[in-house]
Structure 1
Amino acid sequence: MNLEDLESFITVIRDKSISNAARSLFISQPTLSARIHRLENELQFKLIERSNRGIQLTKEGMYFLPYATRFLASINNVNTVLEQDEQQGRKQTFQQVVDRDNKLIIGIDSWLAPTLGKLILQQLKQYNVNNYRIYSHPSSIIKYLFDLNQFDIMIIYNDEHKEYEFSTPAIEDQEVLLYSSERSDMQSDFYRNLDQLKKLPCIIFDNPVLVEHSKFTDEFMEVLDISEFQLVDNFDVFIQMVELDLGYTIMPISSILHLLPMFDNHVMKVSYQFSDVELSSHFVQMVHNKNKLDLFPSEHLVQNIYQSYLDIQRKR
């Protein structure tokens, strides 16, 4: 995807016209139009429409715009770091950012990070591992980067059952229904409770929404015949909506395991019930590679994190 095309698209929306955007970018209108068409052809959907009211975003364009903006901002941030002037006194900071040879690099799925993050840090502390970096991304990105030797350890959802040379056994996940504890009409019957909750929207948490964990969300929405939903891409907002009885949700227990004590002790006004719905199995898996085994006890770290997670899960 061409960065100039993305910038041109964003500039057209900002300036609200092709002519104004062309002047801002110091290019001709035909050149700008060609860039927009090229981007639309690559994406295979229309981004903008021209009308008497000027430039209007299509529905697809409205969804695409924040991600295009975020992507360009990320590229600009990378350029800012890489172009640091040594006289600014940031050379040492830059070296710490880019130096990976002597660091243990860990990737963890963004849904698993809140639950497993503390377990990882406890093990790193126990083994006196001080040079490390932890990245939180969707499993698809982590797996891709792991295959490119960019991670030494990864903790992911491995629903595809891909085999890795050095990995723990896969841990089968379980779905949990979350709803506001302010509700007094809930019973032990899962489906009866769900019928009550369906008067509210189902809250779908994902970032990007409808993408990285869509296999899970698509399945339970189809099986449970859920038609009304609210999309949220921030976990804190997601939980707050449940607390305020603005909706309900179903999540893998691995993603909210760290919150269950607060639910049980009424620190957070959220109740939960284990799902009776038969959905496809989802699996959590921890993997390490042979890199840096002379520097870090990667195998022991992974095994201990795995065992600690199993212990917490069994208590539930």
Structure 2
Amino acid sequence: MDIRHLRYFVGVCEAGSLSRAADRLHVAQPSLGQQISALETELDTQLFERSRRGMVLTNEGRVFLDHARVVLADVDRAREAVRNANAVPMGAVCLGLPTTVGLMATIPILAVCRSELPNVHLKLIEAYSGTLQEWLQAGRIDIAILYGDAVEVGLKKRALLDDQLAFIAGNGTDVPATFTLEQLENFPLILPGVEHGLRRMVESACAPLHIKLNVVAEIDSLGTVKRAAELGLGCTVLPPMAVAAEVAAGKLKAVPIEGPQMRRRVVLAINETRPGSLAKSRVIEIVERVIADMVAGGAWPAEQLGVMAQQIVHP
């Protein structure tokens, strides 16, 4: 098996047929078909179901596609790293952010990267923290902002800050000046689904205290949750920075929920088994600097940390 086999395989997957893939790859169709058959023989498995309508991946083919894309991406990164070892940072870097973090941090990070790293193609992805961790471990993204500093196999983490979650309500809701976890029982709540990390955190904190939450709706969209709270359809729990604009505009109220159970650690993570690059190292530095400046300037109400969960060694 060589890199050419992998590129041909991915090309057929993306084109959906041998004829279209042959045109895109500038390879004769019979030769391309022979290369795919040789790859299947080497792997001792069928990667495609063939029909008049094209080529459809088998279950084994879908598994192999994920690995093939990671290998090809690594080859491209290696080529870029060698070319740019003593030059300006360039190439592609993929950064994953949880939605609540992305809401505040994506634009500032992008602005600084565009200014300082004009030759770096930055790809920004928003998803659940747990999903981002899986993608980071699989090599699908290069850097991730995650919640929680627990030790994970293959990951290195730097603790950035502690976020105190807050009770969020519409401006017309009567909210006490200080808020305890027990008081959540008194309000109708709109929370994300049970697979969401924030929902699990809230329920885990309430369970030992036998607090019964009145969840009137489950919504995973951050924007929709905030809009529903503005309209008085229910209250929610979010980090204060996720509603900073709405609070400033007088649309929402945010009161920190007292107690260590509602404190969430934000970390920067990389996969220590993946290759590094000058571009990746510089993006990491910018992410850390931008978030530190946001906390210091009050744009992100949180406690900045200098303690390392695990030291990140920049390549």
Indicate the TM-score class for this superposition, using the shorter chain for normalisation. Answer: 0.5 to 0.7
Letter in 2 for 1:135: I
Match of 2:102 in 1: 113
Please state whether the residue corresponding to 2:261 is helix, strand or coil.
coil
- The higher-RCO structure (CA 8 Å, 6+ apart) is 2
The more displaced of 156-165 and 212-221 is 156-165
Instruction: Give the deviation of 1:106 after TM superposition.
Output: 1.1
Instruction: Return the alpha-carbon distance in structure 1 between the equivalents of residues 290 and 153 of structure 2.
Output: 19
The RMSD of aligned alpha carbons is 3.4
Deviation per residue, 1:145-178 (Å, 9 max, x gap): 2223322211111242548775433421201111
Please state whether the residue corresponding to 2:100 is helix, strand or coil.
coil
Letter in 1 for 2:287: V
The more displaced of 305-314 and 222-231 is 305-314
Instruction: Return the alpha-carbon distance in structure 2 between the equivalents of residues 90 and 220 of structure 1.
Output: 54
Instruction: Give the deviation of 1:104 after TM superposition.
Output: 0.7
Instruction: Return the alpha-carbon distance in structure 1 between the equivalents of residues 178 and 137 of structure 2.
Output: 44
Say if 2:228 and 2:234, in contact at 8 Å, map to a contact too: yes
Match of 1:22 in 2: none
Number of aligned pairs? 220
Match of 2:16 in 1: 83
Instruction: Give the deviation of 1:272 after TM superposition.
Output: 1.1
Say if 1:105 and 1:132, in contact at 8 Å, map to a contact too: yes
Distance 1:109 1:187, change over 3 A: closer
Letter in 2 for 1:225: I
Distance 1:111 1:262, change over 3 A: closer
1:151 to 141, 151, 168: 141
Say if 1:168 and 1:306, in contact at 8 Å, map to a contact too: no
Match of 2:269 in 1: 287
Q: Any stretches of 5+ residues in structure 1 without a counterpart?
A: 1-78, 92-97
Instruction: Return the alpha-carbon distance in structure 2 between the equivalents of residues 312 and 82 of structure 1.
Output: 49
Instruction: Return the alpha-carbon distance in structure 1 between the equivalents of residues 259 and 169 of structure 2.
Output: 16
Instruction: Return the alpha-carbon distance in structure 1 between the equivalents of residues 153 and 287 of structure 2.
Output: 16
Instruction: Give the deviation of 1:190 after TM superposition.
Output: 2.2
Instruction: Give the deviation of 1:138 after TM superposition.
Output: 1.6
Deviation per residue, 1:74-119 (Å, 9 max, x gap): xxxxx995428859x999xxxxxx8853411111123322122122
Match of 1:300 in 2: 285
Instruction: Return the alpha-carbon distance in structure 1 between the equivalents of residues 102 and 153 of structure 2.
Output: 22
1:216 correspondence with 2:183: no
Say if 2:167 and 2:238, in contact at 8 Å, map to a contact too: yes
Say if 2:170 and 2:232, in contact at 8 Å, map to a contact too: yes
Q: Any stretches of 5+ residues in structure 2 without a counterpart?
A: 1-11, 26-68, 77-90, 302-315
1:311 to 296, 299, 302: 296
Match of 2:249 in 1: 265
With the length of structure 2 as denominator, give the TM-score of the two structures: 0.58
Match of 1:168 in 2: 158
Higher strand share: 2
Say if 1:200 and 1:246, in contact at 8 Å, map to a contact too: no
Percent identity between matched residues is 13
1:138 correspondence with 2:128: yes
Please state whether the residue corresponding to 2:144 is helix, strand or coil.
strand
Match of 1:94 in 2: none
Please state whether the residue corresponding to 1:273 is helix, strand or coil.
strand
Say if 2:189 and 2:234, in contact at 8 Å, map to a contact too: yes
Letter in 1 for 2:150: E
With the length of structure 1 as denominator, give the TM-score of the two structures: 0.58
Instruction: Return the alpha-carbon distance in structure 2 between the equivalents of residues 161 and 311 of structure 1.
Output: 27
